């Protein structure tokens, strides 16, 4: 699983500035994707719809995201990865502006679908751009910085919404964010070297060398477990804390919100941890650790429960720098975007679709605690699949 460095690839220190411009697009893209959640109450009131109908907007967002990611290779094959990232930010900006002026829910829903599609264009080209800028030996360091993006975006979304709602309304909040995304796209276009690296469209010729590798499908499953241990559990923790753990809504939100800062520290630590122990070991440790933390959430209460809630996203975050570096090495350099664009929708279906659905079902049948115990056990056991990856070379 070796990736050869190109002579124009940079060391980690040399690439830090352009990588930060890539991360800035990721942060504001995630902020745009996440802003619907904290703004949902005033949006629901403005369109006078039920909670159920308003919540359906998240399904629309996910469908747009998944479809665009699967098709993103056709875009980057024509525009280059750099221009695809700019297009992603511009599409999200246009979608937010459309949503800000929408007079009816149907028009607003169309904007939400476009918003999801705009964000779906980003991940394959974003990761390909980082691995193209940086020499393979430093991929995990650069990808650890890159993975700060979603956490900063998820932390920033409620803070941004609270500030803007105190000053104005939700429509202006969306419009201002639309302008900010355009500014970030312009800064990215100026700050990242103009390398004309084209992606590969997901044709049979490009898919065959990837889909026929058992390592690819093992990584799909591992990413599914990792996404389930972070994003999937993330969706259900607040409901569990309130309904079964005896927390008030305010206390649950405080514990939950503060816990999301720790993955940032974990990702910064991952720069050194992955270098020292290697990618495969890092993935194994992350899955075992986060699986045990999820298991502890199901078995504990009081202070141990709070500790588990803090540990769970922090340990899980360690998986992704090593995971993305390994996934990038599965495909030839030109086809890295295809590997990402195919793997992530399948992994997201497992981690952000099936795992939360299972926990919801378990909460009705037996209780959240039993669900967390089973899911934590499965995630920890799935770490054994890293053995089947075989040797993973880091350069």
In a domain, 42, yes or no: yes
Bigger pLDDT: 218 or 73?
218
From 191, 213, 234, give the residue that closes a domain. 191
Q: How far apart are CA 131 and CA 333, in angstroms?
A: 9
Six token digits for residue 20: 């930060």
Q: What local confidence, expressed as pLDDT, does residue 102 receive?
A: 92
- Specify if 4 maps to a domain: no
Each residue of 35-93: pLDDT tens digit? 887 787 788 888 887 755 766 777 788 788 878 888 888 888 888 888 999 999 999 99
Question: Total domain count for the chain?
Answer: 2
* Domain contains 198: no
**116 and 257 within one domain:** no
Which of residues 391 and 84 earns the better pLDDT score? Answer: 84
Do 92 and 164 share a domain, yes or no? Answer: yes
Whether residue 107 is predicted with pLDDT greater than 80 in this model: the reply is yes
How many C-beta atoms lie closer than 10 Å to residue 206's C-beta? 22
Assess if residue 67 is contained within a domain: yes
Mean pLDDT is highest, among 1-10, 92-101, 254-263, for 92-101
Q: Where does residue 110 rank: exposed (0-12), middle (13-18), buried (19+ CB within 10 A)?
A: middle
Q: Do 146 and 268 share a structural domain?
A: no
Domain with 325, as residue range(s), is 204-389
Contact 341, 70 (CB under 8 A): yes
168 and 217 part of one domain: no
Q: Is the pLDDT of residue 174 over 90?
A: yes
Quick one: pLDDT band at residue 110, thresholds 50, 70, 90? Answer: very high
CA atoms of 253 and 247, how far apart (whole Å)? 9
Where are the alpha helices (H) located in the chain, listed in sequence order?
A: 12-34, 36-47, 51-79, 81-101, 105-120, 122-133, 139-146, 148-167, 170-191, 204-211, 214-227, 233-243, 249-259, 262-277, 279-299, 302-317, 319-330, 336-348, 355-365, 368-382
Tokens of 159: 């803070």
What is the DSSP code (8-state) at residue 248?
A: -
pLDDT, mean of residues 264-285? 78
Q: What is the pLDDT of residue 378?
A: 93
For residue 9, what pLDDT is reported?
67
Q: What is the rounded CA–CA span in Å between residue 119 and residue 228?
A: 20
- CATH number of residue 304's parent domain: 1.20.1250.20
Assess if residue 86 is contained within a domain.
yes
Q: What is the pLDDT of residue 389?
A: 82
Residues in the chain: 395
Same domain, residue pair 345 and 251: yes
Same domain, 183 and 210: no
Gap between the Cα atoms of 44 and 2, Å rounded: 51
What is the CA 124 to chain-centroid distance, rounded?
A: 12
Is pLDDT larger for residue 106 or for residue 50? 106
**Residue in this structure with the two tokens 């115990």, named with its chain if needed:** 373
| Mean pLDDT to the nearest integer, 213-233 | 86
Q: Do 157 and 213 reside in the same domain of the chain? A: no
pLDDT digits (tens, 9 = 90+) for 287-340: 999 999 999 988 888 888 888 888 887 888 788 878 877 887 777 766 666 777
Residues 6+ apart with CB under 8 A from 219: 323, 326, 327, 330, 343, 389
- Residue 324 sits in the same domain as residue 225: yes
Residue 111 pLDDT grade (very low, low, confident, very high; cuts 50, 70, 90): very high
Q: Domain check: are 159 and 254 in the same one?
A: no
Residue environment code for 349-367, b if the CB has 16+ CB neighbours within 10 A, otherwise e: bbbbbebbebbeebbeeee
Domain contains 196: no
Tell whether 93 is covered by a domain: yes
In tens, the pLDDT along 202-215 reads 777 777 778 888 88
Is 197 inside a domain boundary? no
Residues 183 and 211 in one domain: no
pTM equals 0.70
Residues 87, 91: Cα–Cα separation, whole Å: 6
Q: For residue 149, which phi and psi values (nearest 5 degrees)? A: -55, -55
Q: Are residues 214 and 168 part of one domain?
A: no
Measured in degrees and rounded to the nearest 5, phi and psi for residue 334 equal -70, -20
* Chain segment 327-380, per-residue pLDDT in tens: 877 777 666 667 777 887 788 778 776 777 777 777 778 778 888 899 999 999
Examine the fold and report which residue of 168, 191, 214 is the final residue of a domain before the chain moves on: 191
Given 140, 158, 191, the domain boundary residue is 191
The answer to whether residues 220 and 291 belong to one domain is yes
- Measured between its terminal Cα atoms, the distance across the chain in Å is 9
């Amino acid at each position: 699983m070796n990736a050869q460095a190109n002579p124009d690839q940079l060391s980690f220190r040399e690439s830090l500035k352009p990588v930060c411009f890539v991360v800035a697009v990721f942060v504001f893209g995630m902020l745009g994707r996440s802003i619907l959640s904290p703004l949902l109450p005033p949006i629901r009131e403005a369109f006078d719809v039920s909670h159920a109908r308003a919540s359906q907007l998240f399904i629309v967002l996910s469908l747009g995201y998944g479809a665009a990611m699967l098709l993103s290779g056709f875009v980057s094959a024509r525009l280059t990865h750099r221009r695809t990232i700019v297009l992603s930010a511009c599409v999200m900006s246009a979608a937010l502006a459309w949503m800000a002026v929408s007079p009816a829910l149907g028009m607003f829903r169309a904007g939400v679908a476009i918003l999801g599609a705009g964000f779906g264009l980003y991940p394959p080209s974003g990761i390909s751009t980082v691995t193209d800028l940086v020499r393979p030996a430093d991929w995990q360091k650069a990808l650890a910085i890159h993975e700060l993006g979603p956490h900063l975006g998820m932390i920033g979304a409620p803070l941004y919404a609270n500030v803007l709602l105190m000053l104005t309304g939700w429509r202006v909040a969306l419009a201002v964010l639309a302008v900010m995304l355009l500014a970030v796209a312009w800064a990215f276009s100026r700050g990242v070297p103009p390398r004309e690296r084209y992606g590969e469209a997901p044709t049979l010729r490009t898919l065959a060398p990837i889909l026929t590798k058992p390592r690819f499908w093992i990584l799909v499953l591992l990413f599914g477990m990792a996404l389930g241990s972070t994003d999937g559990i993330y969706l259900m923790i607040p409901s569990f804390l309130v309904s079964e753990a005896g927390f008030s809504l305010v206390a649950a939100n405080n514990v939950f919100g503060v816990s999301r800062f720790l993955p940032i520290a974990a990702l910064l630590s991952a720069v050194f941890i992955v270098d020292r122990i290697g990618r495969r070991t890092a993935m194994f440790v992350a899955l075992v650790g986060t699986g045990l933390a999820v298991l502890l959430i199901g078995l504990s209460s009081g202070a141990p429960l709070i500790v588990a809630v803090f540990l769970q996203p922090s340990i899980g975050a360690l998986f992704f720098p090593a995971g993305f570096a390994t996934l990038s090495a599965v495909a030839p350099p030109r086809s890295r975007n295809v590997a990402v664009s195919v793997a992530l929708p399948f992994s997201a279906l497992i981690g952000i679709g099936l795992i939360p659905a299972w926990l919801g079902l378990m909460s009705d049948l037996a209780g959240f605690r039993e669900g967390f115990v089973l899911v934590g056990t499965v995630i920890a056991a799935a770490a054994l699949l890293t053995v089947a990856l075989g040797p993973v070379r880091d350069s």
